[in-house]
Structure 1
Amino acid sequence: MSSAYSAPTVFPLWPEGVPGMKDIGPEQNGKGYIQNTSNPTLTLVGPAVDRPNGTAIIVAPGGGYVRQAVDREGTQYANWLSTLGVTTFVLNYRMQEFGHPAPLQDVLRAVRLLRSRAAEFGIDPNRIGVMGSSAGGHLAASAGTLFDNPAGRTGAELDKVSARPDFLVLMYPVIAMEGAPAAHIGSRKALLGASPSPELLQLLSVDRQVTAQTPPTLLIHTQADATVPVENSILFYQALTKHKVPAEMYLFEKGSHGMGMRDGLGNASQWPRRAEEWLRARGLLTPAAPAAK
């Protein structure tokens, strides 16, 4: 068993000090949500002991960059991924109190940290993905498109490590920062403020940042989503297709925004099976040799 599992389950992203630290008071936890994060962390959920496969997924819960639905879109996903042999790290990232680029710095730091410590965690440094829901989906998509952007660097030694995820899983993601009907105004205001510049709107409308280097992506959304319209996933899928990035998209009829892994939503409740099939088809559930120590 990897030495990671004898270490504390929760560990800080920035042990040397959070860049641009602010005194915003204590973190707030309750009723399955986290708010007011100032010291970002990763929470490790290890793979089932009889089936570790070396794949790692960083999970970013949603909540409009105002709060994070850590139970429904963090811990629940991690426990499911554990049964598939995946090592999961639930990301508690900075939100509206900091704004851009703090969340981007946090998710890219998480990728760099796991890649640099792959042997310790028993994972393959070439099989590190990011999964996100809603605003967490925007953060995951940002990681897959802005991994080389200067805003994601802080001058730390780890900046030398690649921050490009190897794959993305986007659950009803926020993608567009402007334009009807796709743009989610709440996420935009929390991340970019009340009057963002045209340049920021362009940069963080992440479908516009897709290139051939964007990693393979799975998108899951519903027609019934009245909060983050399905057009967000369609825009990102079209951009991926234009740049010939391998992608699959499942658009279901039923299922409100933030559905998580809820039963009773028709075919939408079966999305974990579709996701497992996609991960398996990409070889991500086949055991990989751990990184050399």
Structure 2
Amino acid sequence: MASAADKVISLWPEGVPGKRDIGPEQVGNGYTSNVSEATLTMVSPAVDHPNGTAVIICPGGGYVRMSTAREGDQYANWLGTLGVTAFVLKYRMQEYGHPAPLQDVLRAVRTLRSRAAEFGIRADRIGVMGSSAGGHLAASAGTLFDSPLGRTGAPLDSVSARPDFMMLMYPVITMQDPVAHAGSRKALLGANPSAQDLTLMSLEKQVTPATPPTLLIHTQEDNTVPVENSILFYQALTKAKVPTEMYLFEHGGHGMGMRQGLGTSSLWPRRAEEWLRERGLLSAAPAQTK
């Protein structure tokens, strides 16, 4: 298997939209910050016969930094054991603000869908997974995939950016009090966001019947992003008749990732595997060309 370093995919080869000089990217201790150049890092499945399913992983970090190791690489390696091809997204954050992260995640979906055969994946099996603020970004892809804010005038805009499924780990969902994560809101929308932006990026308000099937995982002990974020999204999905499952565990604080020793919450990867399998996403399938 090629190393991850051999499989870094530039998302804006024609030039980053609104690029500005923010200094060098910062990488260390499992985190990445100060990003200008959005990329996908492909992690090939650790099995001989990939099933054609792909997942774009959005690490969390409050739109200030990304927990690349714990909520990116670790998830990618786990998905690889299931035959899934993972792509860890490196996206622009507070230095650019809204809508740069949305542009990056939607460009990621369009890139994989347009080059599915090249990557050995199916164009109709491209999901997004995200944790915390990365969960907000993944949920943005699933609710705002047709937004004009996600288009730049490039030919690739004609490719559908709708994910086929979502897996959201203790996600930031709402931008409105009392259960908003204030840090993510400020980093994404600024200190004094408009009412329009607050509504648009409160994703429980953007769910439609076209929102893709969703798995939600959260815990009662999350004192950073309240569990009500997932509950609000679940209620909106249910109202729109979008297939969804939600696991709310007792133990496990914010950012638990795949840590052991947290009681039943440490078993969430089993529940996620069951959900993927039930949806037919782990069955063998040939790659499609479009």
Identify whether the pair has TM-score above 0.5, normalized to the shorter chain.
Answer: yes
By how many angstroms is 1:5 displaced?
Answer: 8.4
CA-atom RMSD in angstroms: 1.4
Q: Is the 8 A contact 2:4 2:42 kept in 1?
A: no
Give the whole-Å Cα distance in 2 for the aligned partners of 1:5 and 1:160: 32
Bigger Cα displacement from structure 2, 105-114 vs 5-14: 5-14
2:60 aligns with one of 59, 62, 66: 62
Partner of 2:142: 144
SS of residue matched to 2:286 = coil
Q: Which deviations, in whole Å up to 9, do the C-alpha atoms of 1:143-193 show, x marking residues without a partner? A: 00000011011111100000000000000000010121x100000000000
Partner of 2:267: 270
Partner of 1:131: 129
Give the whole-Å Cα distance in 1 for the aligned partners of 2:253 and 2:5: 38
Q: Is the 8 A contact 2:47 2:81 kept in 1?
A: no
Counterpart amino acid of 1:136?
G
Partner of 2:75: 77
SS of residue matched to 2:274 = helix
Structure 1 gaps of 5+ residues are none
Give the whole-Å Cα distance in 1 for the aligned partners of 2:3 and 2:78: 18
Q: Is the 8 A contact 2:60 2:67 kept in 1?
A: yes
Give the whole-Å Cα distance in 2 for the aligned partners of 1:6 and 1:177: 34
Q: Which deviations, in whole Å up to 9, do the C-alpha atoms of 1:94-150 show, x marking residues without a partner? A: 000000000000000000000000000010100000000000000000000000011
Partner of 1:258: 255
Matches within 5 A, 1:197-276: 197-276=194-273
2:170 aligns with one of 164, 169, 172: 172
Give the whole-Å Cα distance in 2 for the aligned partners of 1:63 and 1:90: 14
Q: Is the 8 A contact 2:172 2:181 kept in 1?
A: yes
Give the whole-Å Cα distance in 2 for the aligned partners of 1:129 and 1:203: 22
Give the whole-Å Cα distance in 1 for the aligned partners of 2:90 and 2:287: 26
Q: Is the 8 A contact 2:109 2:163 kept in 1?
A: yes
Q: Is the 8 A contact 2:11 2:38 kept in 1?
A: yes
Partner of 1:279: 276
SS of residue matched to 1:8 = helix
SS of residue matched to 2:6 = coil
SS of residue matched to 2:247 = strand
By how many angstroms is 1:266 displaced?
Answer: 0.2
Identity, in percent, stands at 74
By how many angstroms is 1:11 displaced?
Answer: 1.9
Give the whole-Å Cα distance in 1 for the aligned partners of 2:4 and 2:255: 33
By how many angstroms is 1:6 displaced?
Answer: 10
Structure 2 gaps of 5+ residues are none
Give the whole-Å Cα distance in 1 for the aligned partners of 2:90 and 2:5: 18
Q: Which deviations, in whole Å up to 9, do the C-alpha atoms of 1:184-235 show, x marking residues without a partner? A: 0000000000000000000000010000000000000000000000000000
By how many angstroms is 1:7 displaced?
Answer: 9.2
Give the whole-Å Cα distance in 1 for the aligned partners of 2:23 and 2:4: 31
SS of residue matched to 1:218 = strand
Q: Is the 8 A contact 1:225 1:257 kept in 2?
A: yes
Partner of 1:187: 184
Q: Number of paired residues?
A: 290
Q: Is the 8 A contact 1:51 1:84 kept in 2?
A: no
Alpha-carbon distance change, 144 to 6 in structure 1, aligned in 2, over 3 angstroms? closer
Give the whole-Å Cα distance in 2 for the aligned partners of 1:273 and 1:51: 21
